Structure 1
Amino acid sequence: MSDAVGPGDLVLCVNAAPNHVTGRPVPLQAGETYRVLGVMEFGCPCGRADHLLDVGIDWGWCQTRFRLLPKPKAQARTQKISAPREKETTR
């Protein structure tokens, strides 16, 4: 997952268990979507991940807590433009 995740990506929290290093409760919510602010090139102390993710809550989180959400596909839409019609006056 480390190669695919970058700043601005959306990730889904799949594990809101207590911090697996310190044992303290975490402020993350399972099932919530978070935007990645940065990817830190540090290995997690647990040894399960080679990068930590910054999602704007507390400090870096182990990337094993998250799953990358697919990027939305851009769809071209045709827009209907309505312009006022000019009326011809006849005398």
Structure 2
Amino acid sequence: MYIRRDKGPLYVTLPDGSRLTRSDLPDRGTRRWVARRKAVVVKAVNAGLLSEEEACEMYQLSLEELHSWRIAMETHGARALRATALQKYRQV
């Protein structure tokens, strides 16, 4: 029996001391993106658990969409990833 091993680290330690593993990531087939799932993907990319390209391929995202999530979370926090709050945090 062969067990497939994904590339990259098995887990990363986040700045708050918690661990983020690949099993904590949303399913590959995720189509409904709530703020919590977006935040987990952004944390995984920022911490080095996933590369940007790997995250885009895994979740069928564009690089622009992932970048907008990263900027929103960096600038305003995880609350800015909510679809209903998009206009509130959008730059005019």
* TM-score (ref. length: structure 2): 0.23
Which structure has the higher relative contact order (CA within 8 Å, separation 6+)? 1
Structure showing the higher strand proportion among its residues: 1
Structure showing the higher helix proportion among its residues: 2
The structure with the largest alpha-carbon Rg is 1
